[in-house]
Chain A
């Protein structure tokens, strides 16, 4: 039915545009050159009148229809019975009725449920039909008003431009809304979490066992939501990744900017960029399929015991992903060092290597540091590689050959296949998400400000 509404709106819009344009050109011909706006603008103006109000109505309607109908369905039942139910029981009842209404019947449902399902189908149908009717009426009204507004002095262009401005301002605010949405949802769910689990336990506890089903009244005493091991694991894997990625990325940037001739550079740079374009799920599979067994065999050969999901494998593969990132940011930093510094150093008789080590790298250091911080924030926020290649059990150790878990792994494993936001298990994922957001935001802000400051210097 929603698609009928959209089709109707589209039809009305097209009719409005062409009718108004035609009308405007007729009027224009009769009054000569004194028409304020060209016919196209009258057309657009009428089209906006015909489509904007119904579109807003449809969106609001679709967003709230189910919630309203759910409430009305609950009203069918005995008020005392509903009041006695918890919110989870209520949503279970609703979903049962909705399943019945959709024709999916399990077992023998009660008479009242079947009746409710029928009522629900009736109401849904009524709601859809009335939506289409209302949309049609309002759209037609807009069409008529838009066409009737056509007059030589009517400033259709201004009106269209005003609508465009409103649309553009709205779109600019989408990014702000997104940030607000991120912060609001994370903070809101985290508050729910901290109402169930004390913050001191989350920040200072050293045991993380969220998968154990715990009754709500036992949570506080169980000590299973200490996030420190999770952060330690994140730190271990990010460190391993940086240890491999920074030297390789930096060295390749140095070689590409300073030593390589143009042809080598034009081939190697795009090849390195490919590494950045590979989806992370592919790296995750690569880690599981090739790297982890390789490290395990190698370690066993040396007589070491290596966990099948070792931190080294996850961190090492993450390093591959970060190499092009660090390389291109260092590349920019090195290229931004003014020629004068470079040539001054050569004039003093320094070799290329000495110039790089003693002049270019110190001069480019802030930019390179900014790049490294950005890469670190990526390593911390990276999800798929660690979900596939790192461990699930949080353990407090920093041995790279052991299995550790990370913040992102926990977020994903806690939320896969679970939407009830009323237990500490799923809510803890939002608390972890909030920490992740704050840490990466902090790193990004520092990195961007370092990079910007440094750019102003030369």
Chain B
């Protein structure tokens, strides 16, 4: 403001209550409030986006936690199934006849459309169960079989019955058949256990996360058993033993920079070194876990060093004073006291590794694999890569599966973080 009031003789006095100054004050306060509103708006935007993110995932994903099933009675008579060769029976016809019996008056020309309502793999599901329990032959058993994806969506109301027939994926006739089955009480919609116990499949109604979850588990195990001991050992050396010289400085700079290297570069490293040079197979959790371990290592080293530093020196000196060696001081006193913080940091690092996708894509953990891996040397997918595969699938049914898989992944992450927070609050010492 240019105007400065001068009244009286010589002495500058300001009439703070004049209109001009009132205006000026209110302008300044308004600017202050505006800044505050910008801040509130920014936070509201960020939290709003978080809310939209979560809501949209839940809204598209929750339907995948149930699966429309049809309960159908199948007669496993001796004429059609040889007890000595249960596997070789004509399961396709057996199952189809059972389906046909559920809708009387089915025209031969319609059979194709009718059978398309049930999952394509129904004969194999029935076969596998009878092969596992051959005593079923000769009895009539009620099988609960998943409905195909379009019918599943119809049952869940995701396909609007009022849209013209040409624009929806189930025909009027299929709807009529479905309603007929529903009237007979054959349709149910239980919790989708297949989502957790099936491996991947080309058919959305059969696709599950078992393979991805166990793949992620093995990769995380490899990651943990390498990065945890190695990270702690490196941190102890750098914090307690390392002399201050150029070499240790180099190591420290290195660790800080590694923590900020893009994850895709670790994928390139794993691809070139482990697969290219060492000839390890593609798609296996061992290679994925190694890449994740190298990524997690800097995090664990940094966390461990911070927690070693926070143990008060009185403990160190007391132990040294009664004759413990330096190693004994660390192994018997410092490390146990620092362990809760180290574990907290490790769990958070592992949670990050669990959500990491790019390095796993590069080493081929995005293959189509229909059985869960039994170990670290078998091809596998991981949870995030499974999400990526499903998100890329053209079938509509995979949209809700993808969201459901994301909710499962977020569930694991929340659990891990909750454990970390619990550890911190329960066991961490404040000195």
Contacts and interface: CB of A to CB of B under 8 A. Distances in A.
Interface of A: 63, 66-67, 157, 160-161, 164-165, 167-176, 178-179, 181-182, 185-186, 188-189, 247-252, 254-256, 259-260, 268, 271-272, 274-275, 277-286, 288-290, 320, 323-324, 327, 351-354, 356-357, 374, 377-378, 380-384, 387-388, 408, 411-412, 415-417, 419, 421, 429-430, 433, 436-437, 440-441, 444-445, 448
B53 interface: yes
A281 B357 contact: yes
12 contacts: A175-B301, A181-B269, A186-B272, A272-B47, A281-B387, A284-B391, A290-B56, A412-B358, A412-B362, A421-B272, A433-B265, A437-B261
A429 B357 contact: no
A283 B358 CA distance: 13
Given A157-B325, A275-B50, A412 B264 contact: yes
Given A280-B357, A381-B265, A181 B50 contact: no
Contacts of B413: 277, 279
A255 B361 CA distance: 39
Contacts of B57: 282, 286
Contact of A168 (B50, B233, B250, B257): B233
B258 interface: yes
A160 B326 CA distance: 13
Contacts of B297: 174-175, 178
Contacts of A272: 43, 46-47, 50
B269 A182 contact: yes
Given A256-B43, A384-B357, A444 B254 contact: no
B39 interface: yes
A169 B42 contact: no
B98 interface: no
Nearest to B49: A320
B368 to A, nearest CB: 11
Contacts of B241: 165, 168
A289 B250 contact: no
Q: Which 3 A-B pairs have the closest CB atoms?
A: A255-B39, A381-B262, A279-B355
Q: Give the secondary structure class of A's interface.
A: helix
A283 B125 CA distance: 36
Given A282-B57, A357-B35, A185 B257 contact: no
B301 A286 contact: no
B268 A259 contact: no
Contacts of B102: none
B263 interface: yes
A185 B273 contact: yes
A67 to B, nearest CB: 6
Interface of B: 28-29, 31-36, 38-43, 45-47, 49-50, 52-53, 56-57, 60, 229-231, 233-234, 236-238, 241-242, 250-251, 254-258, 260-269, 271-273, 275-279, 282, 294, 297-298, 301, 325, 327, 351-352, 354-358, 361-362, 364, 366, 384-385, 387-388, 391-392, 399, 402-403, 406, 409-410, 413, 417
A286 B60 CA distance: 11
A433 to B, nearest CB: 4
A169 B247 CA distance: 12
Nearest to B356: A279
Contacts of A176: 250-251, 254
Contacts of A172: 233-234, 237-238, 242, 251
A408 B387 contact: no
Nearest to B56: A290
Contacts of A252: 39, 42-43, 46
Contacts of B276: 185, 419, 421
A28 to B, nearest CB: 18
Contact of B278 (A63, A169, A417): A63
Contacts, number: 264
Nearest to A382: B262
A279 B357 contact: yes
A416 B410 contact: no
Given A172-B237, A272-B43, A289-B403, 10 more contacts: A171-B231, A181-B273, A185-B269, A251-B42, A260-B39, A275-B49, A281-B388, A356-B35, A383-B357, A411-B362
Contacts of B31: 351, 353-354
A254 B265 contact: no
Contacts of A286: 53, 56-57
A437 B352 CA distance: 21
Nearest to B352: A277
B148 to A, nearest CB: 23
A440 B298 contact: no
A353 B275 contact: no
A380 B261 CA distance: 11
Given A278-B410, A285-B387, A286-B57, A381 B35 contact: no
A412 B364 CA distance: 10
A147 B273 CA distance: 40
A34 to B, nearest CB: 16
A370 B35 CA distance: 23
B18 to A, nearest CB: 17
A248 B50 CA distance: 14
Nearest to B276: A421
B241 to A, nearest CB: 7
Contacts of A174: 230, 234, 294, 297
A67 B277 CA distance: 10
A178 B258 contact: yes
Contacts of A168: 233-234, 236-237, 241
Contacts of A268: 43, 47
A232 B411 CA distance: 37
A160 B327 CA distance: 10
A167 B237 CA distance: 9
B262 A247 contact: no
A63 B417 CA distance: 36
A170 B233 CA distance: 9
B113 to A, nearest CB: 30
A429 B262 contact: no
Contacts of A66: 279
Contacts of A357: 35
A249 B34 CA distance: 17
A434 B266 CA distance: 12
A411 B264 contact: yes
B279 A412 contact: no
A355 to B, nearest CB: 9
A167 B406 contact: no
A290 B52 contact: yes
Contacts of B282: 419
Residue from A167, A174, A259, A388 having most chain B Cβ neighbours under 10 A = A174
Contacts of B387: 281-282, 285
B35 to A, nearest CB: 4
Contacts of A383: 262-264, 357-358
A173 B251 contact: yes
A188 B273 CA distance: 11
